[in-house]
Amino acid sequence: MPEILRRERLVPNIHLLEVRAPEIAAKCRAGQFMIVMPDVRGERIPLTIADWNAKRGSVTAVFMLVGTSTHKLSLLKAGDELPVVVGPLGKPSDIRNYGTVVCAGGCFGIAAIYPIARALKEAGNRVITLIDVKANYLFYWENKFKRVSDRISVSSRDSFYDSKEYIPHQLQTLIGEEKKIDRVVAIGCTYLMYSCSEATRAAGIRTMVSLNPIMVDGTGMCGACRVTADGKTKFACVDGPDFDGHTIDWQELFARRKSYFDDEVRSYCDWERNEFP
C-alpha cells in the first residue's frame, strides 16, 4: 500500500500530503488529480495533484479539513500507508502560450493552481497570480508562486495585504489595469470558481475552472461527478476536471455538491465522538 512520506500542516485547517507513488509521479501533468482513501472503511475522495517529483517517486496534494475523510487524513503521519492512491486521473489542463494568463486561487485551490501556473510560465506566458484568503495567515506557498509569477496580488479580509476585496472584484480591477488578459484559470471552492467566471463573462475572457463535484471511482464508470457544460452532460472525472466556466450550469453543481450534506455531518459527528470522547 502507498506510503505517506510527509504530512504537515501548512496553515490552520490546510494540510499537505506527500505520498510515494512513482508511477503516478512519472505520468502526471498539471491539472490532473488522484483518488485516495484514508483507511479501509473510508470513502474514495478526489485530491488535485499539487506537485510531484518523478525522481523521488512522490506526489503531493493539499487538502482542507472539511469532514470525516480529510480529518482522518490529517491525523496520519509519515510511514503510515493509504489503502488507495490512484491516478493520475482526468485530462491534463490545456497548456499553451496564450500571452497573459491570470491564475486565481483560494484555500485548497492555492495549491491546486500552482502546477498550472508553473506549466503556463514554462510555456512562455506572462503569469499573473491572484490569491484570495480569509486572513493573511491562510496564505501559503508564497515563494513557490513568486518563482512562477510575473505579478502577484493577494487580498484578504484582514488589513495585512493591500486589498480586502473579494476575488471577483479583484479580478475586475485587474481587468481594468492590464492591457490585455488572454485567459483566466480559477480554482477554489465552487463559489469562487462561479464568481470568477461571472466576473470575466462581460469582458469575454475565456475562463477555465477545475470543477469539484462528488466523485466515487474517478474513472468514468458511475457518473456521480456529472455536470452540465454547454447544455450537455459531462463526467468531470474523464471529460474534465477543467471546463470553460462560462458554459457550466452552476446551480446544478451547487445542488449536487450538497447531495449528502446531512450524511456528511452525521458521519463526522459519529467519527469525532469515537475519536475524541
Partner 1 sequence: MSDKQELPSELKARLKAEYDMEWRKEMRKSVPIKERMKIPRQKMPEREPGERNRDFKEVNKGLDLETARREAQRCWDCANPGCVSGCPVAIDIPSFIKLIDKGDIIASLCKIKETNSLPAICGRVCPQETQCEVVCNLKKATGQPVAIGNLERFVSDYERQKGEVFIPPIPPPTGKKVAIIGAGPAGLTAAGELAKKGHDVTIFEALHIAGGVLVYGIPEFRLPKSILKTEVEYLQKLGVRLRTSFVVGKTATLEDLKNEGYEAFFIGTGAGLPNFMRIPGENLVGVYSANEYLTRCNLMRAYEFPLYDTPVIRGRRVAVIGGGNVAMDSVRTAKRLGAELAAIIYRRSRHELPAREEEVKHAEEEGIEFHFLTTPVRYIGDEKGRVKAMECLRMELGEPDASGRRRPVPVEGSESITEIDMAVVAIGQSPNPLMAQTTPELRVGKWGNLEVDWLTMGTALPGVYAGGDIVRGGATVILAMGDGRLAAAHLDQYLKNGRS
Q: Given the rule CB under 8 A, which residues bind partner 1? A: 23-24, 27, 37, 41-44, 68-69, 83-89, 216-217, 219-224, 226-228, 233, 238, 251-252, 254-256, 258-260, 263-264, 266-267, 270-271
Dihedral, CA of residue 266, residue 64, residue 72 and residue 87, to nearest 10: 110
Q: How many Å apart are CA 235 and CA 57, to the nearest integer?
A: 29
Q: Which is nearer to partner 1, 178 or 263 (CB)?
A: 263
Contact 35, 20 (CB under 8 A): no
Q: Which is nearer to partner 1, 143 or 276 (CB)?
A: 276
Q: Which is nearer to partner 1, 71 or 157 (CB)?
A: 71
Q: Which is nearer to partner 1, 150 or 270 (CB)?
A: 270
Q: How far is the CB of 41 from partner 1 (least distance, A)?
A: 5
- CB burial readout 155-191, b (16+ within 10 A) else e: bbeeeebeeebbbbebbebbbeeeeebebbbbbbbbe
Q: How far is the CB of 32 from partner 1 (least distance, A)?
A: 9
Q: How far is the CB of 241 from partner 1 (least distance, A)?
A: 14
Q: Which is nearer to partner 1, 18 or 239 (CB)?
A: 239
What single-letter DSSP state applies at residue 248? B
Q: How far is the CB of 189 from partner 1 (least distance, A)?
A: 18
Strands 226-229 and 232-235: antiparallel
Q: How far is the CB of 260 from partner 1 (least distance, A)?
A: 4
- Evaluate the omega torsion of the peptide bond into residue 168 and state whether it is cis, within 30 degrees of 0: no
- Determine the 3-state secondary structure of 138 from DSSP: helix
Q: What single-letter amino acid sits at 247?
A: T
When computed from its CA atoms, the radius of gyration of the chain, rounded to whole angstroms, is 18
Q: Which is nearer to partner 1, 164 or 258 (CB)?
A: 258
Q: How far is the CB of 228 from partner 1 (least distance, A)?
A: 6
Contact 33, 88 (CB under 8 A): yes
